[in-house]
Amino acid sequence: MKILMVCLGNICRSPLAEGILKSKLPEEFTVDSAGTISMHRGSQPDFRSVQTAAAHDIDISQQISRPVTLEDLDSFDWIFCMDERNLYDVQKMAQNEHQRKKIMLLMDAAELLPREVADPYFGEEDGFEEVYQQIDRACTVIAKKLISQENFTN
């Protein structure tokens, strides 16, 4: 089972989501992350995300930003997007209904509110801890569903 976390730059939110979900799943699950823009391709996560994850004993410092590819839409089983814009951009890439059905908001997959994980990039540092907590809540539900092989409904 392969899960892809998606945000805009793949340096703030989706690297956190990758690290957090990975920490809740056994090794046979693959968790990766990507961005809808390629501007940060090759970069490590934003230091504020790295520090926030480290404060929770999760090391995301070795992740490298990359853009979402068409191949991802085939190779991943679920693609969880942080906000509506990310969802729209990935949905636009989908070439068939099978691909489209894999793509959903992270918070919808967890059936939690608010529906979006807001971009902390231009905000204050404590925004990263809030984002961490929100993603952590969602990933607790999602990991449980994945382990018990429950489906996610759009």
Task: List the beta bridge partners of residue 104.
Answer: 80
Tell whether residue 13 is a contact of ligand 4NP (CB under 6 A). Answer: yes
Q: Out of 3, 4, 5, 9, which residue is the one contacting ligand 4NP (CB under 6 A)?
A: 9
Return the biggest CA–CA distance within the chain: 41
**Does residue 11 belong to the site contacting ligand 4NP (CB under 6 A)?**
yes
Calpha distance 64→35 (Å, rounded): 11
CB 7 within 8 A of CB 34: no
Residue 41 and residue 121: Cα distance in Å, rounded?
16
On the CB side of 102, CA atoms within 13 Å amount to 22
Among 66, 121, 129, 140, binds ligand 4NP (CB under 6 A): 121
Per-residue binding letters, 46-85, with ligand 4NP (x by CB under 6 A) = ----------------------------------------
Establish if 7 lies at the interface with ligand 4NP (CB under 6 A).
yes
The residue count for the chain: 154
**119 in contact with ligand 4NP (CB under 6 A):** yes
CA atoms in the 13 A half-sphere facing the CB of 15 = 31
- Does residue 103 bind ligand 4NP (CB under 6 A)? no
Q: Which residues are part of the catalytic machinery?
A: 7, 13, 119
Contact residues toward ligand 4NP (CB under 6 A) are 7-13, 39, 119, 121
